[in-house]
Amino acid sequence: MNLYQQNHQPEPEIMIEKIHPKKRYIFASDFDQTLSFNDSGYVLAELLGISEAEFERKATGMAKLNLVQQGGELAYLLLHDPEFRSKVRPEHLYKAGKQVRLKPNIDLLYSFLSEEVEGYHFDFYVISAGPVEVIRSALEGVIPADHIYGTEFEYNKHGEIERILQVTAGYGKVAVIDQLLENLRTGPDRIVYVGDGSSDIHVMLHVNRRDGFTIAVSENKYLAPIAKRSVISDSALAILVPILEEVVGWDSHSIRNLFEAKGLLIQQWDKVQTDVLTIVPSVAPSEERADAAIAD
């Protein structure tokens, strides 16, 4: 034993970590409809006195144009639509966050992933296409603000949106993931990404390609075939199940035990694989030609 060890006995916990270092992962999650029940854009529009139908018309119109990254429609409207731009101020974004209906157990998901899975530590990040003020307000006291990435605006002295600083929709999410990998010096195979919608396609393809793990929390027809696993639940804690199974390697018995130790019961657990097909009558080539002749 050398002099250093004689004089400075390390704490037992630190010693254990030195012998068996924890595997560190980045857990990155979308926000709207992944950690919440509704799109925060609807909540914000309502606060500004813009009807749901009107917001939907404008947002879907934007999405159809494919002018902005999928999921970035609200950011575009806030800056360029005269009605949105004239009405919205930072306090509306904060207030909208407080009205978002969060899925239950986000706090438990955070603590499980941070410290309760033996041998593993998951750094919890949220990457949303929504305005960062909305997401930070909605998750205030649950997820640290500096772990939340969203679309950022610059405001003028009247509190009006002057310009967009960064959009974290579509490919913008890939940029955040790459930045996190660099900052945390983690390998791309140590990423778990969770999302529900078309704004998550780029990032999921990117994470999969580099051996990370992806989870869809919806039956979105573009996303479900890309994600390595899908899980449908009203509780945010369900996201833990595919992570424990596929990343940590637990069986369903150990997972049930963990939930029960925390006073939670997995009441229903159906494992289904869904094939979605549309089957139509085939048209014989001769009929096709006949149709074409009539059309001419």
Q: Which two tokens stand for residue 56?
A: 């939907």
Least separation in angstroms between CB 170 and Mg ion: 12
List the interface residues with Mg ion, window 38-97 (CB under 5 A): none
C-beta of 202 vs 258, nearer to Mg ion: 202
Show the beta-strand stretches assigned E in 5-136. 23-29, 120-131
C-beta of 237 vs 258, nearer to Mg ion: 237
C-beta of 137 vs 168, nearer to Mg ion: 168
C-beta of 2 vs 66, nearer to Mg ion: 66
What DSSP assignment string belongs to 77-95? HHHH-HHHHHH--HHHHHH
C-beta of 128 vs 137, nearer to Mg ion: 128
Least separation in angstroms between CB 197 and Mg ion: 4
Least separation in angstroms between CB 103 and Mg ion: 12
Least separation in angstroms between CB 216 and Mg ion: 10
User: In the bound complex, which residue of the shown chain has the CB atom lying closest to Mg ion?
Assistant: 32
C-beta of 66 vs 273, nearer to Mg ion: 66
Cα–Cα distance measured from residue 64 to residue 268, given in angstroms and rounded to the nearest whole number:
38
List the interface residues with Mg ion, window 180-219 (CB under 5 A): 196-197
- Mapping DSSP to helix (H, G, I), strand (E, B) and coil, where does residue 148 land? strand
List the interface residues with Mg ion, window 215-254 (CB under 5 A): none
Least separation in angstroms between CB 128 and Mg ion: 7
* Residues touching Mg ion, count (CB under 5 A): 5
The type of residue at 70 is Q
* Residue 35 burial (10 A CB sphere; 0-12, 13-18, 19+): buried
Cα–Cα distance measured from residue 73 to residue 198, given in angstroms and rounded to the nearest whole number:
12
**Phi then psi for 66, rounded to 5 degrees?**
55, 30
C-beta of 93 vs 194, nearer to Mg ion: 194
Closest CA to 139 of 96, 167, 98: 98
Show the beta-strand stretches assigned E in the chain. 23-29, 120-131, 148-155, 161-166, 191-195, 213-216, 229-230
Least separation in angstroms between CB 142 and Mg ion: 17
Closest CA to 44 of 107, 117, 119, 96: 96
Build a one-symbol-per-residue string for 7-36: x at contacts with Mg ion by CB under 5 A, - elsewhere.
Answer: -----------------------x-xx---
Least separation in angstroms between CB 217 and Mg ion: 9
Residues within the interface to Mg ion (CB under 5 A): 30, 32-33, 196-197
